[in-house]
Amino acid sequence: MKYQIVGILICTLLITNVSAVLGAPAEQKTTTDKTETFVYETLSDQDGVNNVLFTSNADKETPCGHLIGPNLAPNPSFEEGDTLPIGWTYDPFSNGTYRWESTDPHSGEKSIGVLNLTTYGWEGVTWVSDFIPVDYMTYSYMLSGWFKFIGTPADQQYIFFHIKEYDENYRALGGGGYLYSYTPEWTRSQNDTTYMNPHVKYVKIGLGQEYYGTLVPNASVEVCFDDIYFGVWNTAPNTPTITGTTQGKIKTLYTFSFTTIDPDQDDVTYEIDWNDNTTQITGFYHSGEAANITHIWGIKGNYTIQARATDENGAHSDWATLSVTLPCVNTMPTNTLLAKLFERFPHAFPIVRHLMGY
């Protein structure tokens, strides 16, 4: 009689647990596509284009910091050429006067200059370089150059550094720049081009003067440029390595290790997406130092951890992934009779044991 009761009990539990477990499918977790968000500061909305405002740390005594690449600017000191400096041109239909000589160059024998600025607006009077290939998915770039005013400008008459952006088909994508106010001595700009649109494949450098006032600029004022630098100043970290458990249980704390090498030996932070609607950004770690971060999941399922490294200069690595499987666990109250039954018959009822978590 008692064996019949136990048999009925086992069958009842089997049906109940199969219905409970199989009737509610495990929550599915999918990897969220990562789309870069680029923050722009608008200098002008002309033609509906947002323009990057580069940060500037002008310092005429020291070289550009953290430079690791050759100068990509063509003919940067403007010494080479016949009728024009090689690699540079201008709009022949503008009202500006374009000079390629100077009695006071910063170095060498020549510099370039612009004057006869008679209108105000975004384009102004500008020298423009040839196309320069770039890779903003991997590198950050620095635009630097020496400049000075000859003559006293009107209020809001500025020196202008400009980067114009193009895609792989040489189609214009916009651009941006930085304005400098009056300086009668040779002074160096330093503009960090870290946060750029990744679709940009080529750039052109523009050097000139702009006017944004309500009156008129001083057309006799000349702005001179010399010793231009445009090149790589920072390299993105390598794609991180994620190590840790790939199978586990819910409601259990696990530790994962995130590691990367930064080619410039910059410190890095890690942005982590745990694939359960939670993300976090760590503090800074040295290049090669492991960041050991803990996490706990509350719902069974398959999760894909994603992480990328960002160096102290803002360059991002590619995303790394690690898949983690968290099978279901027993969340029902322990049944004393069943526990004793399973202890007495350790090899019996394997399906029930699995479903019950014993």
The pLDDT of residue 125 is 87
Q: Is the pLDDT of residue 52 over 90?
A: no
**65 and 172 housed in the same domain:** yes
pLDDT in tens, 222-246: 999 999 999 988 788 999 999 999 9
**138 and 219 housed in the same domain:** yes
Q: What's the average model confidence in pLDDT over 277-291?
A: 96
Q: Is the pLDDT of residue 323 over 50?
A: yes
Look over the chain and give the mean of its residue pLDDT values, rounded to a whole number: 77
Round to whole Å and give the CA distance between 164 and 127: 12
Q: Is the pLDDT of residue 174 over 60?
A: yes
Q: What are 65's two structure tokens?
A: 């910091």
The pLDDT of residue 20 is 32
What percent of the chain lies above the pLDDT cut of 70? Answer: 70
Higher-pLDDT residue of 40 and 150 is 150
The pLDDT of residue 190 is 81
Which of these, 334, 309, 339, lies nearest to 235 by C-alpha position? 309
Q: What's the average model confidence in pLDDT over 292-303?
A: 95
Q: What's the average model confidence in pLDDT over 174-180?
A: 85
Higher-pLDDT residue of 38 and 203 is 203
The pLDDT of residue 232 is 84
Q: What's the average model confidence in pLDDT over 251-267?
A: 94
pLDDT in tens, 197-213: 778 999 999 999 988 87
**271 and 193 housed in the same domain:** no
How buried is residue 298: exposed, middle or buried, by Cβ count under 10 Å (0-12/13-18/19+)?
exposed
We report the CATH number of the domain holding residue 281 as 2.60.40.10
**206 and 250 housed in the same domain:** no
Structural domain including 177 reads 46-235
pLDDT in tens, 112-154: 999 999 876 655 789 999 999 998 877 888 899 999 999 999 9
Q: Is residue 336 part of a domain?
A: yes
The pLDDT of residue 294 is 96
Q: Is residue 320 part of a domain?
A: yes
Number of domains in the chain: 3
Q: Is residue 35 part of a domain?
A: no
pLDDT in tens, 10-26: 343 333 333 333 333 33
**115 and 261 housed in the same domain:** no
Q: What are 288's two structure tokens?
A: 């090669």
**57 and 206 housed in the same domain:** yes
End-to-end CA distance of the chain: 26
The pLDDT of residue 327 is 82
Is the separation of the CB atoms in 97 and 117 below 8 Å? no
**216 and 286 housed in the same domain:** no
The pLDDT of residue 195 is 54
**217 and 90 housed in the same domain:** yes
The pLDDT of residue 5 is 39
> Cα 122 to the chain's mean position, in Å?
27
